[in-house]
């Protein structure tokens, strides 16, 4: 939980500090890459570190991930320019790509499935608490201290986490010499990196860059497949990833990540711009998702042995569309309470779905492949986030370009509306209506994706929990 706090805080605390950081460092045109570089590195390295944890053990890979993350954090605090900040954030992302999957794998090693859901509920609560405390802590640091402490705050937490792993996590000695598929790891990282860069640029005007990066992705992906078919111990076992329960569960997770990105990106915009709520009200509406997520994870944990993994996965996937339809029915006369209710329902379904899909995959794979299986699920969620950002951004732009208003709505007008600086009652109403129409289409797309997620979950075959008793720490690994 301590190691996960560092990764969870990065999602909210840095966003709070970035306006002041970019004011001091300059390079406003590189603003989005501070976040994109972290997500790109984290997504690309998740599967790689999951495989390394299977080959070399959980403990050394986790300690390496914490070390890399702390190095990136310390350097980010000393960043002298935006390009330097982007590089140091990328280093942080590499460390996060090890911390998140390996911590989940350690939980799977130490606890049988009937108890694991409860522990993963604790981990989910870390994200919920960080979502609430992150902006608050970030605001206090920005007000009273240097923004560098946003990053240096990770150092004591990371050191405490590392000491805990060294003292209490005991593994069997590994005498065999594993065969590391270095070429596969490099090609996979290059393929996923170029894919995410292409998706990021596809949402902007950099069409030529997106086409070039798409070409790099295709070439690297083809070479990766050829390499994995000839490797002695491939980095990604197609036999594992291709199993129907794992493939279907990961597809569900991709769609869940897309729906989550649609909610987190556009709910605050709708509450502020259309419902005319304050930023605090918009934040509270979105926070309801983070309340529902750990609640759903806890419900899933207590129900695994009673209802079964597939039944819970389908049930959770069925709750998400119920929340999404609330957003599709919102009107300019709706209240923020209704939006918060939809956020709570979607978070509840996402919590149930995420825990049940993770445990399902961990139960199917062999212990020697548990790190790779866990990483595949987390990778799918991160990929879904990126796909969702691209898709929903394109849908929003389409909606704005095809509004029923007589004049085209510009991005500056929307920004003025969100900042409360729109000039004139009539212009304010026109922009509000145009934003409602375009976000309505976006929410409809989110609902369709959530329905497809439910249909995909129904393709998962029944999986029974292994009746494994609690084992000592040194034997579990």
Q: Where are the alpha helices (DSSP H) in 26-148?
A: 31-56, 58-77, 82-110, 113-144
pLDDT at 66: 94
pLDDT at 276: 80
Give residue 464's pLDDT band: very low, low, confident or very high (50, 70, 90).
low
Give residue 414's pLDDT band: very low, low, confident or very high (50, 70, 90).
low
pLDDT at 473 over 60: no
- Between CA 10 and CA 100 the distance in angstroms is 13
| Contact indicator for 94, 446 with CB cutoff of 8 Å | no
Q: Which of 14-23, 209-218, 421-430, 451-460 has the lowest mean pLDDT?
A: 421-430
Q: For tokens 């000839």, what's the residue? A: 230
pLDDT at 91: 92
CA distances, 68 to each of 6, 189, 304 (Å): 12, 17, 36
pLDDT at 474 over 50: no
**Average pLDDT of the residues in 348-353:** 89
Instruction: State CA 72 to chain mean position distance.
Output: 20
- Between CA 353 and CA 117 the distance in angstroms is 12
For 217-281, give the DSSP string: HHHHHHHHHHHHHH-SS-SS-HHHHTSHHHHHHHHHHHHHHHHHHHHHHHHHHHHHHTS---HHH
* Reported pTM: 0.80
- Between CA 107 and CA 120 the distance in angstroms is 8
**Average pLDDT of the residues in 83-100:** 89
Radius of gyration of the CA atoms of the chain, in A? 22
**Average pLDDT of the residues in 267-293:** 80
**Average pLDDT of the residues in 211-230:** 86
pLDDT at 24 over 70: yes
pLDDT at 470 over 50: no
Give residue 364's pLDDT band: very low, low, confident or very high (50, 70, 90).
confident
Cα atoms in the Cβ-side hemisphere of radius 13 Å centred on 271: 26
276 dihedral zone (left: phi>0; alpha: psi -120 to 50; beta): left
Q: Considering only CA atoms, which of 9, 367, 354 is closest in space to residue 161?
A: 9
| Contact indicator for 123, 3 with CB cutoff of 8 Å | no
Q: Considering only CA atoms, which of 285, 444, 454, 446 is closest in space to residue 353?
A: 454
- Between CA 355 and CA 117 the distance in angstroms is 7
pLDDT at 28 over 50: yes
Give residue 405's pLDDT band: very low, low, confident or very high (50, 70, 90).
low
Angle, alpha carbons 142-145-148 (nearest 5°): 80
pLDDT tens per residue across span 227-268: 878 877 777 777 777 778 888 888 999 999 889 888 887 888
Q: Considering only CA atoms, which of 85, 83, 104 is closest in space to residue 93?
A: 85
User: Mean pLDDT for the chain?
Assistant: 80
**Residues contacting residue 252 through CB under 8 Å, at least 6 positions apart:** 313, 317, 353, 357, 453, 456, 457, 460
pLDDT more than 70, % of the chain: 86
């Amino acid at each position: 939980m301590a190691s996960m706090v560092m990764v969870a805080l990065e999602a909210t605390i840095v966003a709070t500090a970035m306006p002041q950081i970019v004011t001091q460092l300059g390079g406003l045109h590189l603003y989005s890459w501070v976040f994109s570089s972290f997500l790109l590195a984290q997504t690309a390295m998740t599967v790689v570190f999951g495989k390394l944890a299977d080959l070399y053990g959980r403990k050394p890979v986790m300690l390496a991930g914490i070390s890399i993350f702390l190095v990136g954090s310390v350097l980010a605090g000393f960043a002298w320019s935006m390009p330097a900040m982007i590089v140091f954030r990328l280093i942080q992302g590499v460390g996060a790509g090890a911390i998140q999957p390996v911590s989940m794998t350690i939980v799977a090693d130490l606890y049988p499935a009937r108890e694991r859901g409860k522990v993963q509920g604790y981990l989910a609560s870390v994200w919920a608490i960080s979502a609430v405390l992150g902006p608050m802590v970030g605001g206090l640091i920005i007000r009273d201290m240097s923004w560098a402490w946003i990053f240096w705050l990770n150092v004591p937490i990371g050191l405490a986490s590392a000491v805990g792993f060294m003292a209490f996590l005991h593994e069997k000695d590994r005498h065999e010499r594993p065969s590391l598929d270095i070429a596969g790891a490099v090609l996979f990282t290059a393929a996923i990196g170029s894919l995410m860069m292409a998706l990021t640029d596809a949402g902007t005007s950099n069409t030529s860059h997106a086409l070039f990066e798409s070409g790099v992705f295709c070439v690297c992906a083809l070479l990766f497949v050829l390499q994995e078919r000839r490797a002695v111990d491939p980095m990604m076992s197609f036999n594992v990833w291709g199993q129907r329960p794992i493939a279907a569960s990961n597809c569900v997770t991709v769609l869940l990540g897309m729906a989550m990105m649609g909610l987190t990106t556009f709910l605050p915009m709708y509450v502020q711009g259309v419902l005319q709520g304050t930023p605090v009200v918009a934040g509270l509406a979105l926070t309801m998702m983070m309340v529902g997520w750990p609640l759903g994870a806890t419900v899933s944990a207590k129900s695994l042995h009673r209802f079964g993994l597939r039944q819970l996965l389908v049930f959770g996937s069925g709750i998400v569309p119920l929340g999404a339809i609330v957003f599709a029915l919102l009107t300019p006369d709706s209240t923020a309470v209704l939006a918060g209710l939809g956020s709570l329902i979607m978070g509840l379904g996402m919590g149930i779905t995420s825990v049940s899909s993770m445990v399902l995959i961990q139960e199917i794979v062999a212990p020697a492949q548990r790190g790779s299986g866990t990483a595949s699920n987390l990778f799918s969620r991160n990929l879904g986030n990126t796909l969702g950002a691209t898709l929903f951004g394109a849908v929003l732009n389409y909606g704005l370009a095809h509004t029923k208003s007589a004049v085209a709505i510009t991005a500056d007008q929307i920004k003025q509306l969100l900042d409360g600086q729109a000039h004139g009652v009539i212009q304010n109403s026109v922009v509000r209506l145009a934003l409602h129409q375009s976000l309505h289409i976006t929410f409809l797309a989110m609902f369709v994706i959530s329905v497809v997620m439910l249909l995909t979950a129904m393709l998962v075959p029944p999986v029974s929990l292994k009746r494994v008793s609690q084992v000592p720490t040194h034997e579990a690994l």
